[in-house]
Structure 1
Amino acid sequence: MPHVRTALSTGPSTIEYLRTGSGPGIVLVHGTGATPEANYSDLIAELKPQHTVVAPFLSGSGSTTDSGAPLTAEDLAQQVLAAADDAGLDDFALVGHSLGACVAAAASAVARRRIRSLVLHAGWAKSDPRMVLQFGLWQELVAASPELLARLVLLNAYDTDGSPFQDSQTLDTEVAGFAALFRPEGIGRQLHLDQHIDIEHLLPRVTAPTLIISGASDVVVPPAHQDRMAELIPHAELIRVQGGHAFPFESPDEFIGLVADFISTP
């Protein structure tokens, strides 16, 4: 995969990013502890026949490197924009999930003229005490055992009748997959940022048409957080869907449809 160097507030960074397809640009920003493929494989497959799809690996994921200093949403937004620049995208649609939604919103605030449309799923404007408690616990668990965090994420992110819980073999496979994905040092840095997100001052600067997708049963980032984002982003459209934090993975066709319809609207 290609790499690009950029300067962050804490020093230089080299960003790994995925690039595939051809046509109008769309940039995808992954969530905590994930990768572009882990979060967006179905969406990438759907979009790449008609779009140039770019998806950076944020610091803590893939082979992206930086100074090792604490992460900020603004610096991760710079990584997103650097990947788009290196891929030759002058303007593009932007999609983010969870932490990626916070980063995508920050990028939209600082590169307003370049963002054609913005889709945010399960994002938040400012971490509250409950989220500090939750992500601090996750940070402790992954340091002790990635498998322990994988179990908790499955319990919290998916609905009670979700696909991982169909049978014990499926559940074991899902736990192993998440545990392999969670690299303690990398996800630990992202979880530290999750506890300190505060982009409320940036959201009123977003000018792109914005769709905010909120899972009605999301207990990881509860719906009130998406409501707050919708209050702060001018003219944002908020849609509540039946699903939890893992809505894009439990209902991929519905998620893909929402994204594809919104980014194609003139």
Structure 2
Amino acid sequence: MQELAFETLGQGPALILVHGTSSTPNGTWGPAMKELARSYTLLLPHLPGSGDSPLPASPLDAEVIASQIADVATRAGHERFAIAGASLGGPIAIKVAARYPDRVTHLVSVNGFSRARAGLRLRQQIFETALPLGPDVTGKVLLTFGLTEQAAESLPDKILNDMARQIGSSLAPGTKEQIALTCTIDVDADLASITAPTLLMVGTQDNFVDPVHSAHLAERIPGAKILRFEGGHGVIMEQTERVLRAITELTTALS
């Protein structure tokens, strides 16, 4: 089994943060990492095809990635850990919690899903189709899906264009493979077996992963709590303090 590259940050009980499609830990979790590192040892794996984590010869597989993430915790010296995943990181975190119930203390999903419904698959296909068109176009596609109308309207066109170019220029080498995983991953059968205390956070204006995905998780994961925040797919950036507070409250027992 190939090993994932990972970083560590902070001090305290272990908390794994799983990033989204074509991203990195910092790209997905951004300012939340610095604050969480005050209370936790953050384990920050790069999914296959992101950062220095190699792509396998075969298509990406959620079972294998779950094993690789658990291995990250082992290599870092942590037998037990909480895990939080955003977007594609959500179903991956769910898979880890289902496979390693004795190791996962708490589970958090932010704008996650168990399987991609038709609308999400279509948006991923548009994302992939835009890749050969260059960073400006790809970045604008991602901003269209990622920003709420209110957030976009508050920014001057120059800043929006600069953001699009920056996003489109920083895509992971394994973007196409991660898009394929986003479209095919299915952890529905794992939901009923989750035993870790579970928190689901959702941006009510998410244009990328429709909130119905999180509502489905709330119905199927025993005892799951769902929090709905005003915001879009980037709710971690938009509502950083509320996201931090919710994670800290859930995982208080860790410390």
TM-score relative to the length of structure 1: 0.90
Alignment pair present for 1:158 and 2:155:
no
TM-score relative to the length of structure 2: 0.94
What amino acid is aligned across from residue 33 of structure 2 in structure 1?
I
| 1:161 CA drift (Å) | 2.0
Aligned partners of 1:53 and 1:63: how far apart in 2? Answer: 18
How do 1:158-197 and structure 2 match up within 5 A? 158-162=147-151, 165-183=154-172, 185-197=173-185
What amino acid is aligned across from residue 109 of structure 1 in structure 2?
A
Of residues 126-135 and 150-159 in structure 1, the stretch that sits farther from structure 2 once superposed is 126-135
Residue 52 of structure 2 aligns with which residue? 63
Contact 1:164 1:170 in 2 (8 A): no
Residue 219 of structure 1 aligns with which residue? 207
Residue ranges of structure 1 left out of the alignment (5+ in a row): 1-6, 8-12
| 1:163 CA drift (Å) | 6.3
2:5 is paired with a residue of what secondary structure? strand
2:78 is paired with a residue of what secondary structure? coil
1:117 is paired with a residue of what secondary structure? strand
Aligned partners of 1:255 and 1:170: how far apart in 2? Answer: 25
Alignment pair present for 1:98 and 2:98:
no
2:223 is paired with a residue of what secondary structure? coil
Alignment pair present for 1:45 and 2:34:
yes
- Aligned residue pairs total 254
| 1:144 CA drift (Å) | 3.2
Deviations 1:12-33 (A, max 9, x none): x131101122211110000011
How do 1:230-241 and structure 2 match up within 5 A? 230-241=218-229
How do 1:1-266 and structure 2 match up within 5 A? 7=1, 13-162=2-151, 165-183=154-172, 185-265=173-253
Aligned partners of 2:152 and 2:12: how far apart in 1? Answer: 34
1:198 is paired with a residue of what secondary structure? coil
Contact 1:163 1:250 in 2 (8 A): no
Deviations 1:31-58 (A, max 9, x none): 0111011112312211212211101000
| 1:130 CA drift (Å) | 2.0
| 1:143 CA drift (Å) | 3.3
| 1:164 CA drift (Å) | 8.3
Aligned partners of 1:79 and 1:245: how far apart in 2? Answer: 26
Of residues 165-174 and 97-106 in structure 1, the stretch that sits farther from structure 2 once superposed is 165-174
2:188 is paired with a residue of what secondary structure? coil
2:16 is paired with a residue of what secondary structure? strand
Aligned partners of 1:114 and 1:82: how far apart in 2? Answer: 11
Q: Indicate how the Cα distance of structure 1 residues 30 and 218 shifts in structure 2: closer, same or farther if over 3 A, else same.
A: same
| 1:245 CA drift (Å) | 0.9
Aligned partners of 2:21 and 2:235: how far apart in 1? Answer: 15
2:226 is paired with a residue of what secondary structure? strand
Of residues 54-63 and 149-158 in structure 1, the stretch that sits farther from structure 2 once superposed is 149-158
Aligned Cα RMSD in Å?
1.6
1:14 is paired with a residue of what secondary structure? coil
Contact 2:59 2:177 in 1 (8 A): yes
